Amino acid sequence: MRHGEADRVVTVRSAREAEAVVAHAAARSIPVRVHTTGHAHAAQRPPGDALLVRTAIQEPVTIDEDRLMARAPAGALWREVVTKAARHGLAAVHPAAPAVGVVGYLTRGGVGAHGRARGLASNTVSAFDVVGPDALTRRVDADTDADLLDALRGGGGGFGVVTAVEFGLFPLRSVVTGAAYWPLENAHQLLTLWRDWAVDAPRQATTSVRVLSGEAVPWTEDPVVCVTGAVLGGSSAMGDAEDLLGPLRAVATPLRDTWRSDGPAAPLFAAEHPVGPARTVGDHLLLDEIGRDGVAEFLRVLGEGSGSPLPVAELHHLGGALAERAPAGGLLDHLDAGFAYTAFGATADAASAEHLAVVRRALSPWDVGTTVPSMVASRTQPQGHLDRRRAALAAEVRARVDPDGVFAGDVAPVTPGSPG
């Protein structure tokens, strides 16, 4: 167990250490916070006087090939899970970046590389190991505490220290995946074609369009537009991918094109996300069916001639299984939106923050008013991933398992949407 400044930051490497830390805090009436990484880190409130717990549980990622299940300790990254599962011809509902933390992603919804085919990643979770405010570790599953299991899957946090998670896998031998890049001058034609294709896209295809510049594309000095994603479906996958990529390639020859049939781990690396931590400021919206007018507005503020300083801006296609309520899913079990917008800039760059506000105003006509917790990247942006009924259910569970509010500082801001 490692202690930080004034003993307010502690890294725990086992569930037993997590229990000891929570017991130490409880004996002194000190609130406990759980350290968050990735995009969600910027959306968390400062820890203040709380004891901040960083989880780096020293256990291996395990794959149960017979049960189609994986178990990952808190602190594990998706590259560990995906590469191990691939050796067995299995895949997870994982993100499109290898350095994302497993637990944070699975407790905050998780819109990933196979989202349209498989739904939200949090719906695949069957069990958590959680250290509660009483400093005891409990296995939380449908048999031991179904309400807490549901709340841990997208309920907004504040339930304890998760030390491990178990979740489902699915068989996958091959997938068509990759990324193709064009000069930004081709963006209007490309995005229009992509959006028109998306209207009737097969649910096996999960794709996104990204406008990239600077450090996001180190192999060129010029801004580019990128179409990336993954297509499942066995022998039909290449044909489905070609239905999208053929017309795009006819607009102009890509500067770089990595789309191909590959193994089950390939979608994790297809988007070529930079590896390593970075300090960024970001924004996120869930959008309705944007239409061609929405594409035009997106490019007006992010395309050629816009003066955008943002190195990354993305439209991620939703729908398919993501729009369907999962019978055994968590409190956040589906998304009522057609597209997800995310964008990032440098934290120290005032122009980035200003331009994020410009983009938000431009896209506001299509904003459905809800968010995906794993995509939220700022404490200041409006949040609201649960309707009133589900937000109330999460609050009831939180009051039961943590009546003294030991973990209250971890509760995500909730702006409930329409009653569900």
Q: What domains can you pick out in the chain, each with its CATH number?
A: 2-55 (no CATH), 62-171 (3.30.465.10), 175-366 (3.40.462.20)
Q: What is the dihedral of CA 114, 119, 124, 128, to 10 degrees?
A: 110
Retrieve residue 297's tokens.
Answer: 């507005």
CA 220/CA 206 separation, integer angstroms: 26
Provide the residue-wise pLDDT of the chain in tens; the chain has 420 residues. 555 444 589 999 999 999 999 999 999 999 999 987 655 555 566 677 899 999 999 999 999 999 999 999 999 999 999 999 999 999 999 999 999 999 999 999 999 899 999 999 999 999 999 999 999 999 999 999 999 999 999 999 999 999 999 999 999 999 999 999 999 999 999 999 999 999 999 999 999 999 999 989 999 999 999 999 999 988 899 999 999 999 999 999 999 999 999 999 999 999 887 655 456 789 999 999 999 999 999 999 999 999 999 999 999 999 999 999 999 999 999 999 999 999 998 766 789 989 999 999 999 999 999 999 989 877 677 678 898 899 999 999 999 999 999 999 998 876 544 333
The CA distances from residue 309 to 60, 246, 362, 381, in Å, are 41, 31, 16, 19
- What is the pLDDT at residue 269? 95
Which DSSP category does 287 fall into? Answer: E
- What is the pLDDT at residue 420? 37
- Residue 137's Cα: distance from chain center in Å? 26
CA 239/CA 109 separation, integer angstroms: 30
Listed in sequence order, the residues at least 6 apart from 300 whose beta carbon sits closer than 8 Å to its beta carbon are: 306, 362
- b or e along 30-60 (b: 16 or more beta carbons within 10 Å of the residue's beta carbon)? bbbbbbbbbbbebbbeebeebbbbbbebebe
- What is the pLDDT at residue 346? 76
- What is the pLDDT at residue 275? 56
Which tens digit of pLDDT belongs to each residue from 285-300?
A: 999 999 999 999 999 9
- What is the pLDDT at residue 42? 57
Q: What is the dihedral of CA 22, 25, 27, 31, to 10 degrees?
A: -110
- What is the pLDDT at residue 350? 87
Residue by residue, what is the 3-state secondary structure of 325-374? CCCCCCCCCCCCCCEEEEEEEECCCHHHHHHHHHHHHHHHHHECCCCCCC
The answer to whether the CB of 99 falls within 8 A of the CB of 111 is: no
